[in-house]
Homo-oligomer: A and B are copies of this chain.
Amino acid sequence: MLDYINRQAPTWLVQPEVLAGEEFQDCIILVFGKPRTAVFAHIDSIGFTVRYGRQLVRIGGPDTETGYRLVGEDSQGAIDCTLTVDDETGALGYEFSRDIERGTTLTFACDFRETETTVQSCYLDNRLGVWNALQLCETLQDGIVVFSCYEEHGGGTVKFLAKYIHERFAVRQALVCDITWVTEGVHAGQGCAISLRDSLIPRRSYVERIRQIAKKSGIPHQLEVEGSGGSDGKELQHGAQPWDWCFVGAPEDHVHTPHEQVHKADIDSMLRLYQVLMREL
């Protein structure tokens, strides 16, 4: 990520201050101009940790189906194995030619597929959010772009990132740049979703401002209302600074499987919406 940023930044409209290193763990903060709003895109993914006796435990909430191909590496070399799910107990395991060392991380094997209207792969959640944030950087004049970790597994970095940003830049407006779900109310191809709530409820006055800007912009978008699910917004909500936050992101089908699928029109509207919101918020 840092390599990419350092290589690309010279072509961007505004040169950001790049904050990274031990005080930020594995996260990156890019500060453009005089920021009023921060974009949070998480760079971690779901997966599995190898336990003992060929057992696996989840990292985040991956979908599990016998036969999913998993890849990784331990001190004995590269790993390309198959997920197993016990029919009765639901216990997770793997099939491989040898035992894998305990603590090894396994992820879905990537099988990228593209049609005229869609992209499909594991980890579009949140590689598409990261892609969107990086595209946004090209023309961003005032704003902060944050690449966070641990979103999929218990949180843990947004708390200190949010504190740092609020204390140093007095910014307290956030957009959560992430991928959501296709549901009976949010359809593929009908535009980026603005989430009115998930398991948490962002502050109405802030969400209303975003809705008005989106409406005025004419960019296709959809309003999402869920009773469950969460995002980096959770850590902003629970932190000790008065952040406003709102989830704005394209919906995907086949969530948390190796076959996550997003409509290209929704990716397009997501980027355009972020460009407008970062100007007008």
Residues of chain A at the chain B interface (Cβ within 8 Å): 22-26, 49-53, 57-59, 102-103, 105, 150, 153-157, 159-160, 162-163, 183-185, 196-197, 199-201, 203-205, 223, 225-227, 237-242, 244
- Contact between A197 and B53 (Cβ–Cβ < 8 Å)? no
Q: List chain B residues, Cβ under 8 A from A201.
A: 49, 59, 150, 153-154
- Contact between B159 and A197 (Cβ–Cβ < 8 Å)? no
In the complex, what distance in Å separates the CA atom of A239 from the CA atom of B156? 7
- Contact between A51 and B153 (Cβ–Cβ < 8 Å)? no
Contacts A26-B203, A57-B225, A237-B156; is A197 near B103 (CB within 8 Å)? yes
- Contact between A25 and B102 (Cβ–Cβ < 8 Å)? no
In the complex, what distance in Å separates the CA atom of A25 from the CA atom of B244? 9
- Contact between B103 and A25 (Cβ–Cβ < 8 Å)? no
Q: List chain B residues, Cβ under 8 A from A102.
A: 185, 196, 223, 225
Taking A52-B185, A154-B199 as given, write out 10 further A-B residue pairs in contact, using a Cβ cutoff of 8 Å, ordered by the A residue number: A24-B242, A25-B242, A52-B225, A53-B185, A103-B197, A150-B237, A153-B201, A154-B237, A156-B238, A162-B240
Q: List chain B residues, Cβ under 8 A from A199.
A: 154
Residue from the list B23, B53, B59, B240 in contact with A159, Cβ < 8 A: B240
Q: List chain B residues, Cβ under 8 A from A23.
A: 242
- Contact between A227 and B52 (Cβ–Cβ < 8 Å)? no
A195's nearest neighbour on chain B, judged by CB, is: B103
- Contact between B239 and A200 (Cβ–Cβ < 8 Å)? no
